[in-house]
Every structure is written in structure tokens, then in C-alpha cells.
A and B are shown apart, each in its own frame.
Chain A
Amino acid sequence: MRLGLVIDMDTCVGCHACAVACKQWNTSGTTGALTDYRPYGEDPSGVWFNRVRHYEVGDYPNNKTVNIPMSCMHCQHADCVNVCPTGASYKRPEDGIVLVDQDKCMGCNYCAWACPYGARELDREDGVMKKCTLCVDRIYDEQLPPEERQPACVITCPAHARFFGDFDDDNSEVSRLVRERGGVKQMPELGYKPVNTYLPPRITRPIPIDDVRANRVVSSVKDWVNKMVAR
């Protein structure tokens, strides 16, 4: 098995619900707590397994906002595991999930240096490295109904932009989406072979905006009057 996520950059609205749901589930999960520093202070900070960033792609007027949620890619060539001197970081052979054994970690930050995706964050309170577990304490939990055996971020996404599944299975939903939508990987040139795959925005007909208001004499006068009245 090669478990991972598919994230649809077309439908993601950048609401950060996945990041918050992740924090909520995992702070009381197996690798919790996700410590917050100065939570009610001027500059609240803390550990997150999932972060959403927002980008502008293209130049005005042919530009577009794209939201990119990022968590651990559970890379096939996970250098974070190779560089770890203590053996705290490991990649599970059975499903490819990359985890940190917090009892072994010495907090040297070396794995975070080796990760190009910023997936690992040191918990300064606990002194150990923390990262996305792909909700390993949830996806195998037989106490939960089958539809809930998915990572918290996937279940919570209101835009249905996140999918979880086995990339080794050609018939899984994630494999089908990657195939049909032309899934892409971040920084493939580094050779980490990330499992998580991103679906590019769909190519659609632009929404016409020039016919919303015709540029006529009457509307010009109206605009001028409105401006004067407003003053």
C-alpha cells in the first residue's frame, strides 16, 4: 500500500478548515499535543501539521488565486528518514506512512532541514519533532464507522477538495483522479517522489465580465451623479 492524499487546487477555497480539523484531531492524538506558544499573546504561534498558503498565479488580468494546503507528502524517497541519526523517523513498509517515534527523537532539527515541503515542525515545549501522521490513529480504527476511517482533514473539507486513498491501487479514487485530472507533484526535480498529488485548476471558459454593464452615456452620467452625491 502507498497511502496518501490528493488535493484539488481547483476546488480548494483556502478556508483553512483542514488545518484546523487536523490540529483539533491530532493535538489529542498519538503524537499530540500540538503545542501553542503564546496562544492569547500578540504573536500566537505553534505546531501545525497542515498549513494552507495562498498564491496568485499569472499576471493581471489573466491571474488566478490558488490555495495550496500542504502537509507531509509521505515521500517514497523520504530523505527525512535517511538523515535521522537516532532512528526516530521511520517510514512504515506496509503503507508508506512516515512517522516520528517521539521516545527516540533528540530534537536536532536535521529531518526538518532535509524536508523540502516544510512538513516537519519542532515542538519547542516537548523538544521533539512532530509531523502529519496521515491520521494513523484514525484510518485503522475499527471502532469508527468505515466512512470516518479517513484523515481528519479529508473528512472536514467543505469544498470536497481532499481525497485519501491507496496510490498503489489503480482503481482507487485517488489513482483515478490523478489519472483523469493530470495530477502533479511539487518539486519533482529533487527526486523525493512525494506521494501526495495535486490536481491543477481545470481549464474552463473565462467568465465574461465585459457585458455586465455597457459603457453608455446614461450610465456614465449616473456614475458621475453617484460620485457627486457620495461626496
Chain B
Amino acid sequence: MHPAFSVILFTVISGAGYGLFILLAAFHLAGIGPAMSHGELLAHGAASLGMITLGLMLSTGHLANKKNAWRSFMRFKTSWLSREAVFAVLFYPFAGIYGLGVLLQGAAIGPLPALAGVIAAVLAVITLFSTGMIYGCLKTIRQWNTALTPANYIMLGIATGTTLFAAIATVFGNATTLHAGVAMVALVAAAVLKGIYYFWISRVNGPTINTATTFNRATVRLLDTGHTAGTFLTDEFGYDPRKDTIDNVKMGVFLLGFVAPVLVFASILSGAPAGIAWLAAVSSLIGIGMERWLFFAEAKHVVRLYHGAQTCTNSLAEPARGRAAVAPATDPTDARRWELGDTPGGSGS
């Protein structure tokens, strides 16, 4: 799949925003951790709402017809994209009531804003789930069509949220070992889940060029796609990054997204200044940005089978198994060489 930059930014930034809000609601409303000052509560809330809003605005960047974006709320009944849009917007009034309660009453808010805060946190989880299901429900992309997809979206949102939560707490001198501990647990859990996903997609199977063309009893090779230049389909689905690029980015995902932030929090626990939590936050956001790029780059749409891919995991360049159609080029009477005008002996007449 062609990785749309606006979608990568949207899912990473608003995902972290929802994660931050979930952490804020959990720490504040369930009374976990140290008491937060009025200013700290507002800072967490403003940061999460700001990131969510920025992400949602960026998400319209990949629409070809932005003036109809409002219509995306219309098919809640069947479309996960519609559900995501509805839940994302439904989040705002509840988060707003909670935020207003904090603004007016401080940390000791009344039961109504507290209830709104809990509902908003639940809606944040549901929105992350819906984002994952947008991809998870597609039967055409075997790498996405798994329960691990929404699970990853929720866990990565929460993990990046925890790093931001710990980083913002340092500004108010309120970061504790609990902040660092929670962040480490969330990061490790997200890393394990992502590792399972990568293991899973390395061995998915599904439709092949045989079931796509209906010829199940013979080798099928693409002779010609029928077009001389790229099409919408090849632009959108023909994305084929090199294997070593994928491996390098995957290394970056684990190093920047998980290992470096965990090391930062570990060093905070063993006495380093708490302020370096910002390094963890920035590093995890960059790492998860790489993860999101990889999520698209590694997804192989089944329409590629019509463009020559042999299986739903192959790159387009990989040849078919079975005997080659043309004899090897060592034979001087080889049809292929004749076709290329490369006559034996080099006589060009």
C-alpha cells in the first residue's frame, strides 16, 4: 500500500493524544499516583485535545474531495471509517465537560464532570479501536485482516500517551517512579504485541494468482498488464519497498519506538534527571511514525495478484515457480534474444 503521509501523521499524533487522555483520566479520576496540580491537569488535557484535533485535521489531507468530508458521519451502520469519525467527534463534548470541570473546580471535580471524563476515556479507547478496525476489517489485505491490528492501534496509542504523560509531568516537577514504571510496562507490552504482529504477517497466506485468475491447476504468469504507464491501481497498491529498507525501518521501530524510551525511563528510575522523559516521548513518537509507515508499506493488496504477484505476500518482481516459459539465454537460438534483436555473433544486419 502506498503510505499516505497525512494518514501516518493523523494516526500517530491523535493516537498519542487519545493515549495521553486515557492516562490523564486514569491517574486523575481513579486517584492513581500523586495528586496533580490545577495547572498540570490543564496541561495534560490541553496537550491531548490539541494533538487529537491536529491529527483529525491532518486526516482530511488525503481526501481528494474535502468538501464532502462532513458526509463521513453518514454510514455508522456499516463503515468503520464512519464509526471512527462519529466516536472521534462524540469524544469532544464529554472531554469538554470534564475539561470545564477541571478548569472551574480544579482537581477536586464534581461527580458529573468526573463521569464525563470516564465516558470520554472509554470513547478514546473505542476511537482507537475503530481506527484499527478500518484496516483490520479489509479482507483484501491479509497483513491487516487480523485482530492484532486494532490491538496494536490501542496499545501503541496508550504507549506513546504514557511517555508524553511522564514528560509533561516533569514540567510540573510531579514525575514519580510510577510514571516511569507505567510507561515502561506500556512500552514493553506494545513492543511484544507489535512483535507478534510482525511474526504473524511474515507467514500469512491467502489468495494467490491462481485463485485470482481462476486457474488453480497450473502455473500462472503475467504476460502483460495492458497499460504502458502507471495506473491508479499501481500507484495505490503497487508500492514495493526493498527488503533491506523494510528491515532497517523495522529496526528503527524497535530501537526508537520501544528500546530507547524504555532505557530512558530505566535511567530515570536509577537516578537520571526526570526531564529526559521528553527524549523518550519524542523518540517513541518518531519510532511509532516509522511503525505506521511500515504498516502501510508491508501491506500487500490482493489486486497485486492481477499485476503479477504470485501470492498475497510476494513482491511484484518475484517470479513464478514452475519451468520458465523461455529456454535459458545460453542457447544461441534462444527466442528471447532473437526478440531483443541480439543476434548471435553480433552481426547487426
Contact = CB atoms under 8 A, between A and B. Distances in A.
A47 interface: yes
A40 interface: no
A17 interface: no
A189 B214 CA distance: 11
A184 interface: yes
Interface stretch (A23-31, A107-115, A132-140): A107-115
Interface string B301-329: 11100110000000000000011111000
A86 B306 contact: no
A106 B322 contact: no
Given A55-B223, A85-B72, A116-B139, A189 B207 contact: yes
B225 A53 contact: yes
A81 B206 CA distance: 23
Interface in B117-136: 134
Nearest to A110: B81
Contacts of A121: 231-233
A55 B221 contact: yes
Interface residues of B, number: 62
A106 B68 contact: yes
Contacts of B207: 116, 187, 189-190
B134 A110 contact: yes
Interface in A107-153: 107-110, 112-118, 121-122, 124, 126-128
A48 B64 contact: no
B202 interface: no
Contacts of A128: 64-65
A57 B213 contact: yes
A45 B229 contact: yes
A83 to B, nearest CB: 5
B68 A57 contact: no
Contact of B138 (A52, A114, A122, A188): A114
Contact of B71 (A68, A81, A106, A124): A106
A198 interface: yes
B37 interface: no
A66 to B, nearest CB: 7
B134 A59 contact: no
Nearest to B74: A87
B215 A57 contact: yes
B336 to A, nearest CB: 12
A107 B71 contact: no
Given A113-B138, A114-B138, A118-B233, A86 B71 contact: yes
Given A56-B325, A58-B219, A106 B211 contact: no
A51 interface: yes
A185 to B, nearest CB: 7
A43 B72 contact: no
A42 B302 CA distance: 29
A81 B218 CA distance: 34
A190 to B, nearest CB: 5
Interface string A199-231: 010000000000000000000000000000001
A105 interface: yes
Nearest to B84: A85
A179 interface: no
B323 A60 contact: yes
Interface string A97-109: 0000000111111
Contacts of A48: 231
A122 B64 contact: yes
B325 A45 contact: no
A16 interface: yes
Contact of B226 (A53, A86, A116): A53
Interface string B71-93: 11111001111100100000000
B211 A186 contact: yes
A127 B212 contact: no
A107 B79 contact: no
Given A70-B306, A87-B74, A118-B306, A53 B232 contact: no
A100 to B, nearest CB: 11
A60 B325 contact: yes
Nearest to A113: B138
A63 interface: yes
Nearest to A63: B325
Given A43-B228, A55-B223, A108-B63, A116 B303 contact: yes
Nearest to A128: B65
B230 interface: yes
A83 B133 CA distance: 11
**Closest 4 pairs between A and B when the two form their complex, measured CB to CB:** A107-B64, A43-B229, A127-B64, A127-B65
Interface of B: 1, 62-69, 71-75, 78-82, 85, 134, 137-141, 206-207, 211-215, 218-233, 236-237, 301-303, 306-307, 322-326, 347
Interface of A: 9, 16, 19, 42-45, 47-48, 51-60, 63, 65-66, 68, 70, 79, 81-88, 104-110, 112-118, 121-122, 124, 126-128, 184-192, 198, 200, 231
15 contacts: A43-B228, A45-B229, A57-B219, A63-B325, A66-B213, A83-B80, A83-B81, A83-B138, A87-B74, A112-B236, A113-B236, A114-B138, A121-B231, A187-B211, A189-B206
